[in-house]
Amino acid sequence: MKIKILTLFPQIIETYFSTSIAAKAVEKGLITYEIINIRDFARDKHKTCDDAPYGGGAGMVLKPEPLGAALEASGAEQYRTIFPTPSGRLFHQSYATELAQEKTLIFICGRYEGIDQRIIDLYVDDEISIGDYILSSGEVASLVLIDSILRLVPGVIKAESLVDESITSGLLEYPQYTRPEVYKGLRVPEILLSGNHAMIQKWRYEQSLLKTKKYRPDLLRKGN
């Protein structure tokens, strides 16, 4: 998969791709990425990329010309182009699975009050919200989306790691323990030391149900 990211703050994105799972995926050739600095497409002396909103109001809006030129140079007309925004469709694991099928994805990192609507009309395929809260950095929202998509690309993480996960299974994940057996007086549940696979599965399922009831009863009501 190829991921292109349009941003005014390339270092934020670079750090992500040069660390941990993303870096390994790049090293293995499973993922390629390209960071496009929107400012490189600004034509005036000051490399201006934002301006005040028509109609008034607080904050600044990303101007259409530099961002539009950056999108055209990236092939936005032929590749699925995503703009993370709190006013988009709510993200979900199933949406990540769908996006993981694409060969190329483009992400626009917004800043300030947003981007000119004509850019959305002309180039954006998906406006996606990662939740009902406001971030100041479109880079952080893009990386949340990228991280959830990238780990679904075959080979990036072990296939079995994807099976029992929270949400994919319709329930929140059961508690996990590792050595030592006793930590600060707290024991690992006896059942996990029993070697009885069927009983362990049953215990994990019950724990998942309890946790889901406590924190996400809406998932149970959906009949997932």
Residues of this chain that interact with ligand ADE (CB under 6 A) are 84-86, 129-131, 133-135, 138, 141
Give the nearest distance from C-beta 207 to ligand ADE in angstroms.
Answer: 30
Residue 21 or residue 144: which is nearer to ligand ADE going by CB? 144
Give the nearest distance from C-beta 96 to ligand ADE in angstroms.
Answer: 14
Helix or strand run (H / E) with residue 94: helix 93-99
What is d(CA 18, CA 13) in angstroms, rounded to the nearest whole number?
Answer: 9
Give the nearest distance from C-beta 94 to ligand ADE in angstroms.
Answer: 17
What is d(CA 157, CA 171) in angstroms, rounded to the nearest whole number?
Answer: 21
Do 107 and 142 touch, CB atoms closer than 8 A? yes
What is d(CA 206, CA 64) in angstroms, rounded to the nearest whole number?
Answer: 53
Peptide bond into 64 cis (omega under 30): no
Residue 110 or residue 208: which is nearer to ligand ADE going by CB? 110
Residue with tokens 């201006």: 48
Give the nearest distance from C-beta 87 to ligand ADE in angstroms.
Answer: 9
| Main-chain phi, psi angles of 103, to 5 degrees | -80, -35
Tell me the one-letter amino acid at 123.
Y
Give the nearest distance from C-beta 137 to ligand ADE in angstroms.
Answer: 7
Residue 98 or residue 164: which is nearer to ligand ADE going by CB? 98
- Of 207, 179, 210, give the one whose Cα is nearest residue 193: 179
Give the nearest distance from C-beta 135 to ligand ADE in angstroms.
Answer: 4
Residue 127 or residue 164: which is nearer to ligand ADE going by CB? 127
| Main-chain phi, psi angles of 150, to 5 degrees | -60, -40
Residue nearest to ligand ADE (CB): 141
Residue 134 or residue 198: which is nearer to ligand ADE going by CB? 134
Residue 13 or residue 171: which is nearer to ligand ADE going by CB? 13
What is d(CA 159, CA 136) in angstroms, rounded to the nearest whole number?
Answer: 34
**CA distances (Å), origin 118, targets 7, 43, 64, 105, 157:** 18, 19, 7, 20, 38
Give the nearest distance from C-beta 86 to ligand ADE in angstroms.
Answer: 4
Residue 85 or residue 212: which is nearer to ligand ADE going by CB? 85
